[in-house]
Amino acid sequence: MNIPEINRKLLENHRLFTDYIQSLSTDVFTLSRNQKWTPGQQLEHIRRSVQPLAQGFKLPKWLIKIIFGRSNRSGKTYEELIKKYHLKLKDGGRASGRFIPKEVTVPEKNKIIHTLESDLLSLTKNLNKFSEIEIDEIVLPHPLLGKLTIREMMYFTIYHVEHHMNLTKRNIG
C-alpha cells in the first residue's frame, strides 16, 4: 500500500469500528463476558493506541529520525506483519501499561470517538509529510512487535482496529 491507500484504509477501518460501537445498545456497550474487555474498553484501547502515533507524527521528521532511528532491514508486507502479530499473541503477548483501557461509561463514548477521529485525521495529515522512501526507512517502537518502519506501523494500525472489532463481536456474542 502506498501512503494514500494507507490513509484511506486507516480512516475506513476505524470508521467501521466506531460505527459498530455506535450501533451497540447502552447495555451492550458496557457488557463484559468471561472477564474480557467491554466494547467501551475496546474503543478506549484503540484510542490509546492511535494517540501516541498522532502526537509523534506532529514532530519534525528530522527529530523522529534522531529519536527512533532508521531501519536496518527490509520492511515486512502487510501479511507478514499480521502473521508476526498473531505469533506474538499466540505466545501470550497482550496490551500493557498505558494501552490497557480503564472502565468506560456510556457518557464517555462520544468523547472517546471524537478524540479518536481527531487523532486519525491528524495522523493521516502528518503521514502525508513523509515520502514513500521515508516510511520504509524510519522506525518507531511498538510495545509488542519491537521496532517497526512507519509503513509497518501503519499496517499494524490498520489491522489492529479490525482485530479489536472482531474481538468485540466475539466477546458480546
Rounded Cα distance between 166 and 61, Å, is: 34
pTM of the model: 0.95
pLDDT category of residue 34 using cuts at 50, 70 and 90:
confident
Distances (CA, A) of 144 to 58, 96, 108, 126: 23, 9, 28, 24
User: Averaged over 115-135, what is the pLDDT?
Assistant: 97
Strands 139-142 and 146-149: antiparallel
Helices marked H in the chain? 3-23, 26-29, 39-56, 61-68, 78-90, 109-127, 132-137, 150-172
If pLDDT is split at 50, 70 and 90, which confidence band does 33 have? confident
Contact predicate 140/56, CB 8 Å? yes
How much of the chain exceeds pLDDT 70, in percent?
Answer: 100
Domains along the chain with CATH numbers: 3-172 (1.20.120.450)
pLDDT value, residue 24: 95
Rounded to whole angstroms, the Cα distance separating 66 from 98 reads 24
